[in-house]
């Protein structure tokens, strides 16, 4: 069931997301060659805690039999698409780094992702990062009251598909609010058979295109979490949490 949020609830969700937006600005100073992904995770968790929130990803598990996620952030580098576990990897010139962050503040969740570039990156990788962000913004623009859920994926797909990118199908966006993942699933591709529910004021969605330079096919590493491209092509991931209004969608995870 899709939960419609009140204006007060949306404000709480916005406060949780604002912490992430502020963190992403701070991380621009730290995402450089020579720093480890574990160090970036520590910086991120310290920042979240300093704002009176907690990291929703740390200890998260989709089921009791699934391993708990061991870090505060998901940091995915190059061919890693999502759910990368921070560790000893040292960033180097030319890397592209997706950082996905979740927060809990006063019982409400925030969720957003940002893809950084390190030093001088290949032109095709820079274009991948920029085009994925553009696709996210087009998806957000389609998230208007009266449109259908599938219009979001349609906007993303019709921008990216002609450009030859791989659009991940195994993972998608979602509702967000009192839980990290709520209904409905928000896919990033167009399926004419999937119209989806009509968008209504008070819905809160996390829209998150996950895009590759090659195939859309992915696999999971032995750690049980890290999702990588099957063909080792680079990937980018952008995400915003947004609220449906009676006008323009409200981006909750921006400053």
The two three-digit tokens of residue 13, written as one number? 């969700």
Instruction: Select the more confidently predicted residue: 9 or 192.
Output: 9
The answer, yes or no, to whether residue 194 has pLDDT greater than 90, is no
pLDDT by residue (tens digit) across 103-144? 999 999 999 999 999 999 999 999 999 999 999 999 999 999
- How far is the CA of 6 from the CAs of 13, 65, 203, 245, in angstroms? 11, 35, 9, 11
Domain ranges of the chain: 7-251
pLDDT at 95: 98
Return the HEC string of 40-71.
HHHHHHHHHHHCCCEECCCCCCCCCCCCCCCC
Cα 96 to Cα 126: distance, rounded to the nearest angstrom: 8
Of 244, 5, 4, 23, residue with least CA distance to 140? 244
pLDDT value of residue 220: 98
pLDDT of residue 193: 86
| Residue-wise pLDDT tens digits, 7-20 | 999 999 999 999 99
Q: Which pair of structure tokens corresponds to residue 189? A: 């591709």
Q: What is the pLDDT of residues 199-218, one digit of tens each?
A: 999 999 999 999 999 999 99
Q: Which CATH class is domain 7-251?
A: alpha beta
150 pLDDT more than 90: yes
Radius of gyration for the chain, computed over Cα atoms and rounded to the nearest angstrom: 17
Helices within the chain (DSSP H only): 7-27, 37-50, 123-141, 150-160
DSSP β-bridge partners for residue 198: 148
Nearest to 73 by CA among 53, 61, 93, 58: 58
Q: Residue 45: what pLDDT?
A: 98
pLDDT at 195: 87
What pLDDT is attached to residue 3? 96
pLDDT at 196: 87
Whether pTM > 0.95 for this model: the answer is yes
Rounded to the nearest 10 degrees, what angle do helices 7-27 and 37-50 cross at? 140
Position 243 pLDDT exceeds 90: yes
What end-to-end distance do the CA atoms of the chain give, in Å?
30
Give the model confidence (pLDDT) of 18-77 as tens digits: 999 999 999 999 999 999 999 999 999 999 999 999 999 999 999 999 999 999 999 999
Q: Is a pLDDT exceeding 90 seen at residue 178?
A: yes
Give residue 92's Cα distance to chain centre. 23
Q: Confirm if 96 and 129 have CB atoms less than 8 A apart.
A: yes
The residue among 201 and 194 whose pLDDT is bigger is 201
């Amino acid at each position: 069931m899709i939960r419609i949020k009140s204006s007060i609830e949306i404000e709480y969700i916005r406060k949780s997301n604002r912490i992430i937006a502020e963190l992403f600005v701070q991380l621009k100073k730290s995402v450089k060659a020579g720093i480890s992904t574990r160090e970036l995770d520590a910086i991120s968790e310290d920042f979240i805690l300093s704002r009176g929130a907690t990291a929703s990803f740390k200890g998260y598990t989709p089921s009791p039999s699934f391993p708990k996620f061991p870090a505060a952030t998901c940091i995915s580098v190059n061919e890693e698409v999502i759910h990368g576990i921070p560790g000893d990897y040292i960033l180097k010139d030319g890397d592209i780094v997706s950082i996905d962050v979740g927060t809990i503040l006063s019982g409400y969740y925030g969720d957003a992702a940002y893809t950084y570039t390190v030093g001088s990156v290949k032109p095709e990788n820079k274009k991948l990062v920029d085009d994925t962000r553009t696709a996210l913004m087009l998806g957000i623009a389609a998230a208007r009251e009266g449109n259908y859920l599938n219009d979001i994926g349609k906007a993303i797909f019709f921008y990216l598909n002609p450009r030859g990118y791989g659009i991940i199908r195994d993972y998608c966006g979602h509702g967000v609010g009192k839980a990290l993942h709520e209904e409905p699933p928000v896919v990033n591709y167009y399926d004419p058979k999937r119209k989806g529910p009509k968008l209504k004021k008070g819905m809160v969605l996390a829209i998150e295109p996950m895009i590759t330079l090659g195939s859309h096919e992915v696999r999971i590493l032995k750690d049980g979490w890290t999702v990588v491209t099957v063909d080792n092509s680079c990937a980018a991931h952008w995400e915003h949490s947004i609220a449906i209004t009676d006008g323009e969608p409200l981006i909750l995870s921006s400053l």
